[in-house]
Amino acid sequence: MSDIATSGKTINVALIGYGFAGKTFHAPLLSAVPEINLYAIVSSDAAKVHADFPQMQVFAEPQQAIAHPEIDLIVIASPNTTHAPLARQALEAGKHVVVDKPFTLDMQEARELIALAQEKGLLLSVFHNRRWDSDYLGVRQAIEQGAVGKVAQFESHIDRFRPQVRVRWREQNVPGSGLWFDLGPHLIDQALQLFGLPESVQGNIATLREKAEVNDWAHVVLNYPAHRAILHCSMLAAGGVSRFSVHGSKGSLIKARIDQQESQLLAGVMPGSEGWGVDEDAMTLYSGEEAPRQLPTPAGDQGQYYRQIARALNGQQQNPVPPLQALAVMAVLEAAVKASASGQAQRPELSAEEKAALRFPQIQ
């Protein structure tokens, strides 16, 4: 790691991209960390940035931020096609890099970036912010405490009701678009954090809305030796579907509603303020003969990601999302696409060396 790793100084950050991800997630979360200074934002719409940050330095081109001598960390929240080329440029310029999910368009690009970051001694991380969602944290805690016993079936849904196709790159027929590349990384990352790498992946990815150009529905099964993890996302689910359902040898756990941090950010609630991440939707535990009981859901805090990035850059902890973990997410993401196209289960294409080096804090 470079000199910043032990300097303890304020970390100057340039955020590339001020669309939905940059404006809604990255800018507020970065701004809430005392050790981080959001130094500049790269956007073609300076007025949009200045409406939120009147004094912010705005660059029209990413290269202006990448070449700037005062900037330590580049955060890439631009369209998926730009992730790999911009990350490569930033690493070659000696900058630490955070990339929004998905890491890259394919595993080869991801491997090249990992090798470059290692060669340069720089931090490379991927923004898997939903590790700090209230719903996931609650379900994880309940499983770890043995509430459902040995897990047999784990089901994770992120469903939305958007029947009308929007005019935005995520819903256009361009590389890296579609619902699976948008929400799949969240679903996969949480599952891998719980259970590690699956033996194989089955997938059914489809385009179901009228006039849709890219996939807007996905149903993926991760096959483990003694249980199954079902990952599902849809643009045509108006309600009635639980965020998580977990079934095991002692009972079942249901978490109905999704984490509220995205809604809070959209409403202008700042990370760390009163009520931030609070989830009043309790989990329900069914244990056979006993009456169902409610388990409280812990508060979420996606701000943990950038707080931990700051600590990692100041030499106080490890990278919260090592790039090899993000590569494993890419392996499952690609395996599901291949499984859907072929109708056959696929193994995640990680090498023996990558698997040996891969570490997840999974539940035993």
Say yes or no: 232 and 250 in one domain: yes
Q: Considering the domain boundaries, does residue 313 fall inside one?
A: no
CA 341 to chain centre: 24
Q: Are residues 211 and 166 in the same domain?
A: yes
Point out the residues of the chain with pLDDT beneath 50. 1-4, 6
pLDDT tens per residue, range 173-191: 888 889 999 999 999 999 9
- What is the Cα–Cα distance from 150 to 27, expressed in whole angstroms? 40
State the pLDDT at residue 364: 56
- 108 and 158 inside one domain: no
**Tokens of residue 162, six digits:** 């958007």
Is the same domain home to 156 and 21? Answer: no
- Alpha-carbon span 3 to 17, nearest angstrom: 27
Residue 345 Cα distances to 18, 102, 105, 190, angstroms = 38, 22, 21, 21
**pLDDT at residue 2, as a whole number:** 43
Indicate if 105 and 136 belong to the same structural domain: no
pLDDT score for 145: 96
The verdict on 286 and 350 lying in the same domain is: yes
Supply the CATH number for residue 254's domain: 3.30.360.10
Q: What's the domain range around 80?
A: 11-126
Q: Mark whether 153 and 236 lie in a shared domain.
A: yes
Q: Please check whether residues 120 and 267 belong to one and the same domain.
A: no
Q: Are residues 235 and 158 in contact, defined by beta-carbon separation less than 8 angstroms?
A: no
Does residue 194 share a domain with residue 157? yes
pLDDT of residue 174: 82
Kindly give the residue spans of alpha helices, DSSP state H, lying in the chain: 4-7, 20-21, 27-31, 46-52, 62-66, 83-92, 107-120, 134-144, 179-195, 261-266, 303-313, 323-342, 352-357
* Closest by Cα among 215, 219, 210, 232 to 173: 215
Amino acid 234: pLDDT: 97
Number of domains the chain contains:
2
Please check whether residues 75 and 182 belong to one and the same domain.
no
CATH number at 49 reads 3.40.50.720
Is residue 195 in a domain?
yes
What pLDDT digit, counting tens, does each position of 93-138 carry? 999 999 999 999 999 999 999 999 999 999 999 999 999 999 999 9
